[in-house]
Structure formats: structure tokens, C-alpha cells
Amino acid sequence: MRALRVCLTGTAVLLLAISLPVAVAAQDEADPMAPAYFTYTVEVVESPSRGNPMVLRDHPQVDRVEATDPRASGRITMSFSWNTVVLGEEWKVITTATSERLTNEGGTWTGTGRGVMTGGEVLMGTGMDVLTGEGGYEGLTLIMGQFMQMNIADTNWGFILPSDQVPPMPDPVEPLAD
């Protein structure tokens, strides 16, 4: 009898351990307003070539975003601008600004992004996009971050959270005195 009770208890604990992540995942899918962290990849679909000018304005581009959260996946259309400064013979700094619209079956995200890249043969950079939900994503904010080391690796991550939970940006801090 004791062996049967231990076996049944072990089975119940095992079933609970297996079913808990499934229940949490089902709960997240059932609540479209649930905050979430995700990672993503971007594939360029369409980008008219304009060479590599020092200054570029309102360049259109269409990308495909694949994210671990389906709310952040879809077709993203962008218009971006950049400025380039060459430092010496090999180094340059590029600053970017984007206007973006990401759409999928669930709704639409619109907003802006900023980025900076620097380097020579290999560019490294970082960027941040903040998009507001529309349609099925009304009341949500999508934040997408990038760290890129071109020709080597990209790390793309993001958050979806209710817009009223996005912390306000603090005021700038005064520089420290010597």
C-alpha cells in the first residue's frame, strides 16, 4: 500500500510539473495583453539600392520579422534616414532614425527607432525602436532592441507590455563635477 501511495504521489507531481508550463503558455496565449520578452530575427525583403551615401533621407525598406512572440512577427515597412561621419581612413560613425509600421494578423504596431553604428570594415551598433499598438494591440507598447556586429552576429530582443506600464524616461542627469 505504501509503495502504491509513493508511486501515485510521484506520478501526480510529475504530471503537475509537466502540465504547469503548458498551462502558463496557454494562459499567455489567451491573454493578448500579457507582458512578454521575446527574441527575433529580421530578413530584408525589399530595399532599393542607393549605394552607401554619407547622408540618406527617407529610404524605404520592407523586412520580415520572425519573433518568438507572434505578436511581434510580421511585415515591417520602414522609412529611414542616416548621417555618416568618417573618422580617419578606416573608421566611421553612422546615426539612424526610422519610422516603422509592423503588421500581422493580430494588429499593427507603429512608431520610431534610433540607432548608432561605428567601425571600419566591421560595423558594430545598437538600436532601439518603440512602437504603439493599434487594432488588436491597442493599449500595448512594443520595444525592440538590437545589438549588431555586422558580418558576425546580431542579438535582437524585445518586450511587449501594457502602455500604461511603460516607465517614463527620466530627466537627464547633470554631469559630475571634477
pLDDT score recorded for residue 106: 94
What is the number of other CB atoms lying within 10 angstroms of the CB of residue 132? 17
CATH of the domain at 43: 2.40.160
E-strand ranges in 19-105 read 36-46, 55-67, 74-87, 91-104
Distance CA 178, CA 172 (A): 18
pLDDT band at 49 (very low <50, low <70, confident <90, very high): confident
User: Is there a single domain that holds both residue 22 and residue 63?
Assistant: no
**Number of structural domains found in the chain:** 2
Tens-digit pLDDT profile for residues 87-108: 988 889 999 999 999 999 999 9
Identity at 91, one-letter amino acid code: W
CB atoms under 10 Å from CB of 102, counted, come to: 26
Same domain, 116 and 49: yes
Q: Looking at the structure, do residues 22 and 92 belong to the same domain, yes or no?
A: no
C-alpha to C-alpha distance for 25 and 7, rounded to whole angstroms: 28
Report the predicted TM-score, pTM, of the whole model to 2 decimal places.
0.77
Query: What are the pLDDT digits (tens) for 139-154?
Result: 999 999 999 887 666 7
**Residue 3 shares a structural domain with residue 79:** no
